[in-house]
Amino acid sequence: MKQIQPEHKGSVLILSAASGAGHVRAAEALVSAFGMRDIPVEHIEVLKYTTPLFRKVYSDLYIDLVNKRPEVLGWVYNSLDRPWKYQKRRLAMDLLNTGPLVKLLKKTRPSATICTHFLPSELLVHLKKKKLIDFPVGIVVTDYDAHAMWLYKDIDWYFVACEETKIYLEKLGISSDSIHVTGIPIDPAFARKQSRQNVRIKHGLSPDLTTILVSAGGFGVGPMEMMIRFIDEVQSPIQVVVICGNNEKLKDDIGRLKTRHAKKVVGFTKEMDSYMAASDILVGKAGGLTSSEAFAQGLILVVVNPVPGQEERNSDHFLEEGIALRCNNLPALGFKIDTLLKDRDRMAVMKKNVQRFARPNAAEDIASLIIKDLGAH
């Protein structure tokens, strides 16, 4: 794929922020989608253009809170979810810490910019009001709910995960014509259908056993050892795949655990689509990207310890749609999974719900819509 510099006219500029892995993954999915259409595209992770302290607060602090004090993160999320209320003071704070980024954005000349994080969106709206840029700006909301920090009235395209979010934005005064229900963009690999049995064999798994995929996310956080111990209490015949991300210590600890059920322990992997294709159920958090990837591969989700705030709201959507279970008490995890596995009718209904709900082609749909709109101008 041809790479171009953002100041070149005719490109699409994708802006993300490495505050959690999902924003960057969504941006990378869009890069792939535009690249498949031979559209020049550039991806910039904007925190590289901010002050060191600001960058640390956005990235490192977020991960620390997820792992150690999620209740604080939930309090901050809910306290700031006041539509239109804190925009001026937030912009003032951000402008103090994003000088290099603002300078970069002022000299860009793309045909369009798409943001998978609210930080660059805010700065682009500010620059448009100052008439310092004149290209269209789109926002991809990377969760199933839209927090107040995503809200701007001068955005050309909003891409949201579900119809309810569109209705919510309309009620807040955002133009209906600008809001598109596309789903959350995921890598095209997750849309590819693969033989479950063949993929299991590829990974050294039994081709006929129900497979439970347990994910700690890219950073390898959460009470994984306890989860594996309680999943091992499942009475139905299963096998377990555990993804430990970049956490090598966790991988070693899980590998040493004695379990009744066969398990495969994996560290960081670029084959998450393949492991999902091999599985029936995903046990983990309710992040927007990981959940969307799982649904694209037909998995039922068992939500454990969702991060207060956006992941709890995501899980509410999934429960309403009949595509997930939520386990609030870890000791009951094995029981909940076993109860589901023994109810074949319920499993079948949930699988159908997942197929209805999934939007595996979100990235391609977003790219097509933008290309069509740009061609009309």
Cβ–Cβ under 8 Å, residues 235 and 264: no
**Measured distance CA(153)–CA(170) in Å, rounded:** 10
Q: What is the domain partition of the chain in residue ranges?
A: 12-186+361-376, 189-357
Assigned superfamily of 12-186+361-376: Glycogen Phosphorylase B; (3.40.50.2000)
pLDDT at position 3: 41
**Measured distance CA(285)–CA(238) in Å, rounded:** 21
Residues of the chain whose pLDDT is less than 70? 1-10, 217-222, 376-377
pTM of the model: 0.90
Main-chain dihedrals φ then ψ at residue 7, nearest 5 degrees = -80, -5
**Measured distance CA(99)–CA(107) in Å, rounded:** 13
Token digits for 173? 């005064």
pLDDT at position 9: 53
Pick one of 3.20.10.10, 3.40.50.720, 3.40.50.2000, 3.20.20.140 as the CATH number of 189-357: 3.40.50.2000
Cβ–Cβ under 8 Å, residues 347 and 340: yes
pLDDT at position 356: 96
> What confidence tens digit (pLDDT) does each residue in 205-257 have?
999 999 999 987 654 456 788 899 999 999 999 999 999 888 888 889 899 99
Q: Percentage helix, strand, coil, to 5, in the chain?
A: 50, 15, 35
pLDDT at position 5: 46
Measure Cα distances from 254 to 212, 280, 322 in Å. Answer: 15, 21, 31
